[in-house]
Structure 1
Amino acid sequence: MDYVKLVLFFMLFPFLCQLTFCSSLYLLCPKEQALSLLQFKNMFTIDPNAYCFEGVQSYPKTLSWNKNTDCCSWDGVYCDETTGKVIELNLTCSKLQGKFQFNSSLFQLSNLKRLNLSYNDFSGSLISPKFGEFSSLTHLDLSDSRFAGLIPAEISRLSKLQVLNIHGYSDGFRFGPHNFELLLKNLTQLRELNLEYVNISSTIPLNFSSYLTTLHLRNTQLYGTLPEGIFHLSNLQSLDLSGNPQLTVRFPTTKWNSSASLMDLVLTAVNATGRIPESFGHLTSLRTLRIASCNLSGSIPKPLWNLTNIEVLYLGDNHLEGPISDFFRFGKLRLLSLRNNNFNGKLEFLSFNRIWTQLEWLDCSVNSLTGPIPSNVSGMQNLQWVSLSSNHLNGTIPSWIFSLPSLIDLELSDNHFSGNIQEFKSETLRRVSLKQNQLQGPIPKSLLDLQGLQFLLLSQNKLSGHIDSTVCNLTSLLVLDLGSNNLEGTIPLCLGEMSILQVLDLSNNSLGGTINTTFSIGNRLGVMKFDGNKLEGKFPQSLINCTFLEVVDLGNNELKDTFPIWLGALPELQILNLRSNKFYGPIKDSRTDNLFAQIRVIDLSSNGFSGDLPVRLFENFEAMKINSEKSGTREYVGDNFYYPISLIVTTKGLELKLPRVLTTEIIINLSGNRFEGHIPSIIGDLIGLRTLNLSHNRLEGHIPASLHQLSVLESLDLSSNKISGEIPQQLASLKSLEILNLSHNHLDGCIPKGKQFDTFENSSYLGNDGLRGFPLSKDCGGDEGVPQPTTPFGLDQEEEEEEEGDSAIISWQAVLMGYGCGLVIGLSIIYIMLSTQYPTWFSRMDVELEHKILKRMKKHKKRISV
């Protein structure tokens, strides 16, 4: 019996070993693979500030790697259950930082089937061709780890790949010529392909893996026509080709082969001009449809209402039209955006819809919607974003909007809403924009209690009352815009203590008193607009603490002070408007360099400034010395603050309101003061100038010829001064000049002729009795009407004085004939005088006459030779 037990024991021993002791042996990864992983770990440091994508926590997985433990137990490392070899490495969001070497020890893990290195920081590293040696690899994810340069063609050798994810945002991250086509040709097992933000710069080949479920090629510089066969991939679930404006997309007009499987279709900013075809009605599994900025037109086809599974519908920035009433059919919607189209009708569909319980985002802005917002709306407790701006909506804002418990962003601007703003009950609000309506009454106190509020925009309404100092409790506030209302009282002192406030706009109200606000050191204020009020007293000196200031607008008030030259020390200041106040005295030249170096608009008009124009200040205007007309980009002042900077300027003879100020809108307006002396020639160095207004002062002297260097100058106003002399002929080269006003000065001579000067009317020159030439009635003469300068270049002072006595204007041919005859007569007189002994006084007169005749002949011969 014991013998039988012994035999059974030896027979079962191998199995018992596998179940107990041997189980720990085969899970141990080979030492050389553990060593390779440790060497790979030591290539990088850990970035404690690294951030992963939303919803995923970033943590350093390699910190658990220790040579004293089995590598199969390390974070992110997975081994084969039978061989113990590493077959998967998942280091996504591991805070790795450093260079990824071409010959990294990682490539010794030849059995890898899955490799995920996404969301780390390998800044500037190239993707090694050795990635192509992982012959067993089925999943490769290198996305968002800041790889750069050329994606090696060797990736195309990974014939077993099912998932390839190499999207990223690095400059120069690209495919070589034909490599994209080679990739698709060889990787016939691909299920998922994500190359977002990689520069492919290619057409899309006709052949794709028939297994494809996901194809994401957003922002890849694709061009040509999208093969229709992509829409017929039978397994396709998600297609994103957004951000390829050179890619022409033509939708199938019949049923798509992918109709049953396609769930996400994203084609924003591609060339898909035309109508939405009825074939879309077959995409019954569709959850996300984004076709924005594609120039689509026409109405929504009826079959589209069959897509009852739609959760995200984004059709913004097209030319779609028709009533908006049928969108209630999409009962599962979480996001609906129809912004910037031509939809019309009323929002009545909101009132009878009871099934939009999941709706989080509603954007119907920039359309032609009319009528009031329905008041009997319920069931939208999850609504977080509401944007109905730039329509024709009217009536009062219904109470249900103010009671939405999850509301984050409310945008109802640019409509015709009236009545009072009700008390807000939502504590989640971050942004409230009700500007450009007809709302009235006080600012509700509940708005001033929202601790998380970042943007409060209530301008261009009829709000009244005082600005309550409790507004300073909004410690998260970035933009406070209360401009163009009927607010009165004084400016709260505490506004200067709001340390993160960036935009403060209280313009065009009835605020009075002095500006006693003390702006604290270290504040972030970038835009301060107090213009159009009744403010008195001195300029607030604590503004020197606002080192981020780009715009200071205190125009149209009653401030009385000298020019705040110290303001020029603010390094970012671009707009300074002090127009229509009571500033006085000279603008003293400062010895400090770089004052107002970034200034682009300076308006000191309609004040009491006196003395000479500030030459030293003009020398410091460095931003005005750059002509950025050909830069090709349109940048606006204040773009850093997500707020459109408006400004009233006098340009081209008109007072205009600029809703946004381009950085190329360079303006100097010193009109309506008591400046005297000469116009400094240094102004000619400010070649970026578009408007120069020095009118209604006491300036004298000549117009500097250096102004011809202002090649982009559009408006020049020097009227109502005491300027004398001629208009420099060089100004005829100003091809951009549209408005010229030189009236009411003491100018004389000929008006220049040229393309722009031929367009100016009499009003440009009124009150200058000495001017001649077109368009004035006084002819300037000359050959075929070409004006001749009354003071030719190259004549000395004696010759100029002699010419002043000559009033007759004759051709040079007549001059030579006259001089010839005069010479003969003169010589004859001399001969007679010598023969008859005429009086010596006559002799002296005759010699002087001969001298003048000879001198003028030489002068005119010189002109002819030139």
Structure 2
Amino acid sequence: MFTINPNASDYCYDITGEIQSYPTTLFWNKSTDCCSWDGVHCDETTGQVIELDLRCSQLQGKFHSNSSLFQLFNLKRLDLSYNNFSGSLISPKFGEFSSLTHLDLSNSKFTGLIPSEISHLSKLHVLFIWNPSGGLYDLSLSLGPYNFELLLQNLTQLRELALYGVNISSTIPSNFSSHLTTLELADTHLHGVLPERVFHLSNLKTLVLSDNPKLTVRFPITKWNSSASLMQLYLYGVNITGRIPESFSHLTSLHDLDMGYSNLSGPIPKPLWNLTNIESLILRANNFAGQLEFLSFNRNWTQLKRLDFSSNYLTGPIPTNISGLQNLTWLYLSSNYLNGTIPSWLFSLPSLQSLDLSDNHLSGKIQEFKSKTLLIVILKQNKLEGPIPKSLLNQQFLLALLLSQNNISGHISSAICNLKTLVLLGLKSNNLEGTIPQCLGEMSIWILDLSNNSFSGTVNTTFSVGNQLNIIKLDGNKLQGKVPPSLINCEKLEFLDLSNNELNDTFPKWLGDLPILQVLKLRSNKFYGPIRTDNLFTQIRVIDLSSNGFSGELPMSLFQNFQAMKIIGENSGTRKYVADSYSNIYKSSLIVTTKGLDLELPRVLTTQIIIDLSMNRFEGHIPSIIGDLIGLCALNFSHNVLEGHIPTSLQNLSVLESLDLSSNKISGEISQQLASLTFLAVLNLSHNHLVGCIPKGKQFDTFGNSSYQGNDGVRGLPPSRDCGRDGRVPQETIPVELDQEEEEDLPMISWYAVLMGYGCGLVIGLSVIYIMLSTQYPTWFSRLVVQLEHKITTRIILCSDHQVFNLILILQKITSYISMYFRSPSSLKLLTLTLYF
């Protein structure tokens, strides 16, 4: 009934990461006794099939209720885990295996409601129905609240119950089998309070309730019945009330304890110090405070291999006199407030594999590591200095080396070429210099981040065919020369940032052939010439070519190929990011100019679609095809030599948040249709040759004068004012000629300006009158009066504002009071005009 597909068992890995699936049924031979087949076991007396083990057998297809499987009435053990029965329901007929003691349907993509008939399997010892491919994101398997209680009530022989990733959505009943050794209910939407009886199950060895944020756990104050047997306790992401009680001291068999993200607070609880057999202790992302001094005198954690106190509020230095943690393989103390130097005992741990001390205030040099088994070293966001230790460059299995945002100095030694397994290399924001090693493009690296250092010379790195590079960030250095053509071999590249260097090249149009390139940033270099390309760039979402010397017309052929920009991202509630494969330890940040500011995006959402071609020498018209890129969030063509009109097609950019066309030679009117852009938060059309009325309504009512300044013909400033009495554009044939001086931008009149102008005008006016009287009314004064009267009359005609007329009335009253001091009609007229002007 099923086909064989190796991908149907894609979760079947061994400890080394090798796939361990096997097409069991492919070698079944009908001519031989089925009891000899792989995965089939028979009763030696009766010859009946009693066990069927098809785990990781690469089976794919629909699992129907008429399957011949259900004719094996004597089955005692059935394992169908790690196959692909996608779209199949769990048949009620599974409940007819009355002799069944083991049933494992984990990771086989069953969907729908788990039938209540499963509760008929009264002899069941083991029931595993995992669904981790769904989990919090897609609970495709569910077990109704009533069925859950029925299940626990009838299956009185259960030893192991695992319903990981199944939607139960209920409280936890207390009628568990007394034989229970394993209870795994992680990510099942449980709520309410965990019954205390669970802690008193005398045979309980493993309790996993993680990822149930609405579940409240209260620990017994007294000794638990399961204290002596409990070996694994996973309460990650549940709500633990109160503090860790003294009863924890009795968990003498506990090996693994995970209470991360559980709202715990206070100092590290002393009851945990007595866990003499603890191997893994995870208390990350809580509210623990205080210092780590207890590590100095705690002698009970000699078996500890994994310690995780990251994302808490721990302070002070890391203790220096520690001798009882020699078996540590994983140490995570990131995102705290630790200071001082890293003690030498830590570098001397012989079996250390993973170290994360990032995001603290640690200083001093990084010493040489004694361990030869390092897999992950993350020391970013501290104040560490000195060169990169040689021991880090001689690790046989190193996967990730992240030393970003420190004061690391020196060169990158060619010894880095020895790191054959390296996947992540993050050295950004340090003081490294010299040239970039040529071998970096020939290694197994996925993420290469050398940004914001002082690397110089040309990019001689050879990017080999078949490389795995997903992110390359070389921005903020002193690199020269051309973009290396071998980048075309990076077929898995999503993110390329070469900005803020001294690269001198034409546009590398061949990058458009990279099939999944989504972010291309070349800003602030010395690129030059026109952009002519027929290459695809189909997946590009962010392209920043600003602050270069590109010229010619805007590349219409380039815009035509931006297929990913022609789709508005779905707001599904699940955020998706560009190049996000290792987001748990590395985030591909990007600085973009949007909404008038340089902003750093810690991660780039797939919906953040940006085009920035500002500060170049582009000329010609803005192509109307831009209106087809309906996913655009930010568009910046400022500081070029563009002319023509603003295309009305921009009204189609319904999610546009920032539009900057400033400092060009764009003319014509601002289309009223642009008022339909309801997401537009920032608009800059300043310093162009625009005319006519500013559109009214919606977002345009929120933009200030700075959005339009430097456009002589724009009317309607500020936005609250009318643009003429009927809201139409004033006629271009105004029956008054403006002097050349009047071609300057006419300022708006506000009452602050009126008061300031009145004060200044009064002083100037009185001074002019005094000069006039003392020179006995010269002829130049008469001409001055006529010119001022002409200019002010012109302004009144253009402004057509009731405030102007109110001001004139006020000035008339003022001049009537001072007229007694001046006998000349011309002097009085000059004073009035000067005050107004």
TM-score by length of structure 1 reads 0.77
The equivalent of 1:290 in structure 2 is: 234
- Residue 473 in 1 paired to residue 413 in 2? no
* 2:151 is the alignment partner of 1:184: yes
- CA distance in 2 between counterparts of 1:575 and 1:279 reads 55
State yes or no: 1:377 paired with 2:322. yes
Q: Is the 8 A contact 2:145 2:169 kept in 1?
A: no
Measure the CA separation in 2 of the matches of 1:769 and 1:235.
Answer: 87
Matches of 1:102 and 1:478 in 2, distance apart? 46
Q: Which amino acid aligns with 1:289?
A: L
1:371 is displaced (CA, Å) by: 1.0
Q: 2:209 is matched with which residue? A: 267
1:242 and 1:129, CA in 2 relative to 1: closer, same or farther beyond 3 A?
Answer: closer
Q: Does 1:678 align with 2:678?
A: no
The counterpart of 1:576, out of the listed 520, 532, 543, is 520
Task: Give 1:766's aligned residue.
Answer: 709
1:39-188 matches, cutoff 5 A? 52=12, 54=14, 80=43, 83-86=45-48, 88-93=50-55, 95=57, 97=59, 102-103=65-66, 105-119=68-82, 130-145=93-108, 155-168=118-131, 174=141, 180=147, 184=151, 187-188=154-155
Aligned to 2:762: none
Distance 2:90 2:575 in 1: 36
Are 2:511 and 1:557 aligned? no
Cα separation, 1, equivalents of 2:669 and 2:485: 44
Aligned residues of 1:760 and 1:775 also touching (Cα < 8 A): no
Higher Cα radius of gyration: 1
1:184 maps to amino acid? L
Structure 1 Cα separation of the partners of residues 496 and 734 of structure 2: 55
Distance 1:280 1:436 in 2: 43
- What is the DSSP-based 3-state SS (H/G/I as helix, E as strand, rest coil) of the residue aligned with 2:698? coil
Partner of 2:561: 620
Is 2:275–2:300's contact at 8 Å kept on the other side of the alignment? no
Post-superposition offset of 1:805: 5.4
Tell me the SS of whatever aligns to 1:618. helix
**Post-superposition CA distance 1:690-726 (Å, at most 9, x none):** 1111111111111112112111111111111111111
**Residue 200 of structure 2 aligns to a residue in which SS?**
coil
**C-alpha deviation, 1:609, in angstroms:** 0.9
The residue identity in structure 2 corresponding to 1:425 is: K
Kindly provide the CA deviation profile for residues 101-152 of structure 1, in whole angstroms up to 9, marking residues without a partner as x. 7555555544444444445566666655554443433443444455566655
RMSD, aligned α-carbons? 3.3
1:750 and 2:696 aligned = no
**CA 1:556–1:470: 2 relative to 1, 3 Å:** same
Residue 550 of structure 2: aligned partner? 609
- Judged with a 3 Å threshold, the aligned counterparts in structure 2 of structure 1 residues 516 and 160 are, in CA distance, closer, same or farther, namely closer
Change (3 A) 1:298 1:672: farther
Q: Distance in 2 between matches of 1:153 and 1:272?
A: 25
Structure 2 distance, partners of 1:773, 1:807, is 20
SS of 1:740's equivalent in the other structure is strand
2:311 equivalent to 1:366: yes
SS in structure 1 of the partner of residue 193 of structure 2: coil
Q: Does 1:224 align with 2:187?
A: no
* Equivalence map 1:319-334=2 (5 Å): 319-324=263-268, 326=270, 327-334=272-279
Quote the residue 1:794 is aligned against: none
TM alignment of 1:186-585, pairs within 5 A: 187-192=154-159, 214-227=160-173, 229-230=174-175, 234-245=178-189, 247-252=190-195, 258-272=200-214, 276-279=218-221, 282=224, 284-285=227-228, 286-296=230-240, 298-324=242-268, 326=270, 327-498=272-443, 500-585=444-529
1:611 deviates by 1.1
User: Aligned-pair distance for 1:293?
Assistant: 1.6
AA partner of residue 573 (structure 2): G
2:610 is the counterpart of 1:664: no
Cα displacement (A) at 1:280: 7.2
Q: CA deviation at 1:507?
A: 0.6
1:62–1:94 contact (8 Å) kept in structure 2 = no
Give me the whole-angstrom Cα distance separating, in 2, the residues matched to 1:305 and 1:71.
Answer: 53
* Equivalent residues of 2:703, 2:719 under 8 A apart: no
Is it true that 1:788 corresponds to 2:721 in the alignment?
no
State the SS of the aligned residue for 1:340.
coil
Q: Deviations over 1:463-503 (max 9, x none)?
A: 111111111111111111111100011111122221x2111
The 1:346–1:158 alpha-carbon spacing in structure 2 relative to 1, beyond 3 Å, is closer
Task: Report the AA paired with residue 415 of structure 2.
Answer: T
Given that residues 249 and 270 in structure 1 are in contact (C-alpha distance below 8 angstroms), is that contact kept between their aligned partners in structure 2? no
Give me the whole-angstrom Cα distance separating, in 2, the residues matched to 1:695 and 1:155.
67
3-state SS of 2:557 partner: helix
Alpha-carbon separation, structure 1, partners of 2:637 and 2:645 = 13
Residue number in structure 2 paired with 1:844 = none
CA contact (8 A) 1:153 1:179 kept: no
Match of 2:751 in 1: none
Distance 1:98 1:629, change over 3 A: closer
Q: Contact between 1:467 and 1:487, CA under 8 Å: does it hold in 2?
A: yes
Alignment-mate amino acid for residue 99 of structure 2: S
* Conserved 8 A contact 2:129-2:163: no
Q: Which residue number corresponds to residue 803 of structure 2? A: none
1:838 aligns to what? none
Structure 1 residue 226: deviation in Å?
Answer: 2.8
Residue identity in the other structure for 1:606: S
- Structure 1: any 5+ residue segments left out of the alignment? 1-41, 193-213, 792-802, 809-866
**What is the alpha-carbon distance in structure 2 between the residues aligned to residue 631 and residue 127 of structure 1?**
29
Distance 1:546-1:294 versus aligned 2 partners, 3 A rule: same
The answer (yes or no) to whether the contact 1:673–1:696 under 8 Å persists in 2 is yes
The answer to whether the Cα contact below 8 Å between 1:273 and 1:297 also exists between their aligned partners in 2 is: no
Once residues 109 and 452 of structure 1 are traced to their aligned partners in structure 2, the CA distance between those partners, rounded to angstroms, is 48
The verdict on how the C-alpha distance between 1:57 and 1:394 changes in structure 2, with shifts beyond 3 A counting, is same
Distance 1:189 1:323, change over 3 A: closer
Check conservation: 2:612, 2:636, Cα contact below 8 A. Answer: yes
C-alpha spacing 1:738/1:80, structure 2 compared with 1 (3 Å): closer
Q: Which residue of 2 aligns with 1:694?
A: 637
**2:593 corresponds to 1:650:** yes
Give the structure 2 partner of residue 631 of structure 1. 572
Separation (CA, whole Å) in 1 of partners of 2:85 and 2:141 = 16
- Name the SS for the 1:656 alignment partner: strand
Structure 1 letter corresponding to 2:399:
Q
TM-score by length of 2: 0.79
The separation in 1 between residues aligned to 2:292 and 2:564, in whole angstroms, is: 49
| Offset from partner CA, 1:187-243 (integer Å, 9 cap, x none) | 454414xxxxxxxxxxxxxxxxxxxxx33332211213333x24x764444332221
Q: Secondary structure at the match of 2:643?
A: strand
- 1:799-844: CA deviations, max 9, x gaps? xxxx745789xxxxxxxxxxxxxxxxxxxxxxxxxxxxxxxxxxxx
The percentage of aligned residue pairs carrying the same residue is 60
Q: Output one character per residue of 1:348-386: Cα deviation in whole Å (capped at 9) or x when no partner.
A: 111112221221211111111111111111232332211
